[in-house]
């Protein structure tokens, strides 16, 4: 049985020591959906949301969030986030968000990608909540990761 590396000998949570690991190129992509009513989708398409450019704010918020992941997740490592792309598209159900984060470091960026789409989604909600209180964030999930000891992983299409 393999040791769960986030626990010490007494079963207490700890941050894994990655000092001896060699930096490698790594990436991760995650997605999220913000579901809202048809009138909000129309306002998004017409660029008439009273708070401004929803997609631009979501993209910038997602980028900023990826870089701040260790402040939010206590066992996440502070790593060099070398690239972040957050895409935001209006869909018939609302907004589809996708983030890809890249690094050349000792640990992966899966949590950074998930944090980016989550915070981008929260910003969409914040900007449209005056138009629709029933806005819902769904489908936050990792799509793929590359690099590192465990190699590449890609979610099967569903």
**Residues within the annotated binding site for substrate?**
75-77, 111-112
Q: Map tokens 């964030």 to a residue.
A: 137
Q: DSSP letters along 26-73, please? A: EEEEEEEEEE--HHHHHHHHTT--TT--HHHHHHHHHHHHHHTHHHHS
Question: Are 75 and 13 contacting, i.e. CB atoms less than 8 angstroms apart?
Answer: yes
Catalytic residues: 126
Q: Which residues carry a binding-site annotation?
A: 75-77, 111-112
For residue 99, CA distances in Å to 5, 83, 144, 157 come to 27, 10, 11, 17
Q: Which residue(s) pair with 24 in the sheet?
A: 105
């Amino acid at each position: 049985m393999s040791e769960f590396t986030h626990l010490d000998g007494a079963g207490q949570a700890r941050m894994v020591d990655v000092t001896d690991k060699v930096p490698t190129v790594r990436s991760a992509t995650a997605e999220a959906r913000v579901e809202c009513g048809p009138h909000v989708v129309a306002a998004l398409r017409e660029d008439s949301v009273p708070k401004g450019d929803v997609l631009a704010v979501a993209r910038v918020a997602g980028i900023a969030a990826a870089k701040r992941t260790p402040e939010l997740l206590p066992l996440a490592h502070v790593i060099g986030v070398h690239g972040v792309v957050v895409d935001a598209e209006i869909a018939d159900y609302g907004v589809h968000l996708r983030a890809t984060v890249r690094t050349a470091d000792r640990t992966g960026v899966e949590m950074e990608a998930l944090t980016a789409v989550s915070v981008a989604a929260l910003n969409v909600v914040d900007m449209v909540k005056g138009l629709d209180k029933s806005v819902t964030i769904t489908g936050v999930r990792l799509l793929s990761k590359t690099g590192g000891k465990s190699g590449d992983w890609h979610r099967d299409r569903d």
